[in-house]
Amino acid sequence: LLTSGCTTEKTIKVGIENNFRPFTFTEGGENKGFEVELWQAIAQKANIKYELVPMENGELSKSIKSGEVDLAISGMTITNARKNNLEYSNPYFQTGLVILTSSDNVVIKGKEDLAQKVVATQNGTTAYNYASEIQGVKIRSYPNISDAYDELKKKNVDAVIFDERNVNDFSQNTAEGKVKIVGELLSKESYVVVANKRNKYIGRVNQAIEAVSKDGTYEALYTKWFGA
Ligand code: ARG
């Protein structure tokens, strides 16, 4: 029997959120974003064949746990609480949470001003956890972060707390000048590739993350998506 000489590995499934700009998003039927391209480079180095599976954020961790997808890459923050059930790559992106409010809001200048205020965010995220620990805050939480932003645009909520780069993307591209970021970074967070405990890829993924950092691929993608 004739074979190519190399072992054929299965095509794995990689989950991404369909609306987490500019990291992973689906537009005109295409998957796009910094992490979509970063993953492509990682997979190439690691010699991993894959297919992307876009979905809502709420389905991501479920799909990893159930084994419906093998890995996920989508701005997922490593936290102590999450370490129990899942496996993580080394971090490849440093970021944090910020507060977004209406451009004409003169009251909210930082976290201290959020007591008794209505804060919107996305379900099941580090931002949700952060907001729920602020004394007296009223949280409105949505499966899709766009709904939180819409509520702020309409002034149905006082602020949004969410991941800085996603907030930047919204305020620069979609907010029509109606919002502003206030205060400092609220937290330090690192994004990682997530996998279920049964996976056998994280070691190779870590090596590939190092390789794309060393050969300039990471920097080129970073500049493309975030500027210099
Ligand atoms: N980084 C935050 C977290 O891990 C928010 C991520 C929201 N979106 C996503 N695609 N994971 O909770």
ipTM: 0.95
Co-location of 112 and 168 in the same domain: yes
Mean pLDDT across 127-151:
97
Ligand 1 contact via 75 beta carbon (within 6 Å)? yes
Q: Is the pLDDT at 1 greater than 80, yes or no?
A: no
Of 76-80, 163-167, 196-200, the one with minimum mean pLDDT is 196-200
Residue 6 in any domain: the answer is no
Question: Could you read off the pLDDT of 158-192 as tens digits, one per residue?
Answer: 999 999 999 999 999 999 999 999 999 999 999 99
Co-location of 170 and 203 in the same domain: no
Ligand 1 centroid – CA 20 distance (Å) = 8
Residue with the smallest CA separation from ligand 1 atom 5 is 125
Count of structural domains within the chain: 2
Co-location of 105 and 86 in the same domain: no
Residue 5 in any domain: the answer is no
Q: Is the pLDDT at 6 greater than 60, yes or no?
A: no
Residue 2 in any domain: the answer is no
Ligand 1 contact via 126 beta carbon (within 6 Å)? yes
Residue 1 in any domain: the answer is no
Cβ atoms 74, 140 nearer than 8 A: no
When pLDDT is cut at 50, 70 and 90, the band that residue 59 belongs to is: very high
Show the tokens assigned to 13: 């499934």
Pocket test for ligand 1, best of 78, 126, 149 (most atoms within 8 A of CB): 126
Ligand 1 centroid – CA 117 distance (Å) = 23
Q: Kindly report the CATH number assigned to the domain that includes residue 53.
A: 3.40.190.10
Ligand 1 contact via 89 beta carbon (within 6 Å)? no
Q: Is the pLDDT at 4 greater than 80, yes or no?
A: no
Show Cβ contacts of residue 167 under 8 Å, excluding neighbours closer than 6 positions.
98, 100, 160, 181
Question: Could you read off the pLDDT of 22-55 as tens digits, one per residue?
Answer: 999 999 999 999 999 999 999 999 999 999 999 9
Residue 53 in any domain: the answer is yes
Ligand 1 contact via 33 beta carbon (within 6 Å)? no
Ligand 1 contact via 15 beta carbon (within 6 Å)? no
Residue 69 in any domain: the answer is yes
Domain interval for residue 17 = 12-93+191-226
Ligand 1 contact via 166 beta carbon (within 6 Å)? no
Co-location of 105 and 178 in the same domain: yes
**Edge-to-edge strand ranges of the sheet holding 86-88:** 50-55, 12-17, 71-72, 194-196, 86-88
Co-location of 167 and 204 in the same domain: no
Co-location of 172 and 102 in the same domain: yes
> Considering the chain, what is the average pLDDT of its residues?
95
Cβ atoms 226, 218 nearer than 8 A: no
